[in-house]
Structure 1
């Protein structure tokens, strides 16, 4: 016989079976099991579920807050992009306006400078004409004086009479003018 079989026979003879628990142990063990199941089921499980629900809510709330923050950041980014595009557009418009104003100012300054140049040229021409007329008058009087002196020497009489001198000079200069016109016309 084997050892296990011999122990079983010995224990059954004594009435104490090591594999079968005593009845009071089964009752106490069953009551303890039910107490533990009730304590765990009624107290611990709701607390665990509550903690899990709170963690789930916190995680879902964090995700929602992150999504909201991301959406807000995205909308802010879009608004910044729009403002940047608007600012670039405004800058381009202002640059174009400044260029137009600069061109207009340049044109106005050029016109003013040209007008001033024309005025100065006209004033210079007028001054030159006045100087030429004055030189012509001085030259005419000098030619007249020299002609009278020369004519007086040739004729041998004095031509000191002012009226006579004036008529001779005018007639002489008129003859010179006529001769010069004939030469230019030929």
Structure 2
């Protein structure tokens, strides 16, 4: 350091200061300003990117909330549709059972009617057969009894008495 002080020259110092000031002015005009502008532009770009990212995050949160809301609505709508479908299914089953019961009752009633009519037809047929047999028997008996003249007269008189008594 002593050597520096001993060799110190004001002229050299003056020119060094002038060169330094000129260098600073040149750097300020041509280097620092573009560098500072680039740094400021970069800083502004980063700030803008951060704001955009924040807005995107908020929008994502809103979209996520909207999606959750839509999902809840879809779930509730699905539940309502399932409930309606179950009610419709149960109503259809109930209606089908009612129709089947009514049809079964109708078939049973028709079967009873058919049985009754068949029974009545059988009874009528039986009556007809009994009547025919009775007539045949009566005819055979009457033929035997009417073969004799005295028996015929007694029979006619007995019938006439029955007819007068019934009136």
With structure 1 as the length reference, what TM-score do the two structures score? 0.67
Aligned partner of 1:82 in structure 2 is 69
Q: Which whole-Å CA distance do the structure 2 matches of 1:104 and 1:18 have between them?
A: 113
Instruction: Report the CA distance shift for 1:18/1:72 in structure 2 as closer, same or farther (over 3 A).
Output: closer
Partner SS state of residue 99, structure 2: helix
The reply on whether 1:57 has 2:41 as its aligned counterpart is no
Aligned partner of 1:104 in structure 2 is 91
Aligned partner of 1:116 in structure 2 is 103
Listed as ranges, the gaps of 5+ residues in structure 1 are 1-7, 9-16, 159-186
4+ residue stretches of structure 1 with deviation over 4 A?
A: 151-155
- Output aligned runs, 1:1-186, within 5 Å: 19-152=6-139, 156-157=144-145
Deviations 1:98-120 (A, max 9, x none): 11111111111111111111111
1:157 Cα offset (Å): 3.5
Q: Please state which structure has a larger fraction of its residues in helix.
A: 2
Instruction: Report the CA distance shift for 1:108/1:18 in structure 2 as closer, same or farther (over 3 A).
Output: closer
Cα RMSD, aligned residues only: 2.4
Deviations 1:9-67 (A, max 9, x none): xxxxxxxx994144432222121011122223454333333222212111111111111
Q: Which whole-Å CA distance do the structure 2 matches of 1:134 and 1:38 have between them?
A: 137
Listed as ranges, the gaps of 5+ residues in structure 2 are 147-167
Q: Which whole-Å CA distance do the structure 1 matches of 2:56 and 2:100 have between them?
A: 64
Deviations 1:108-155 (A, max 9, x none): 111111111111111111111111111101101111222333445566
Structure having greater relative contact order (Cα 8 Å, sep ≥ 6): 1
Partner SS state of residue 77, structure 2: helix
With structure 2 as the length reference, what TM-score do the two structures score? 0.74
Q: Which whole-Å CA distance do the structure 2 matches of 1:20 and 1:76 have between them?
A: 76
Q: Which whole-Å CA distance do the structure 1 matches of 2:5 and 2:52 have between them?
A: 63
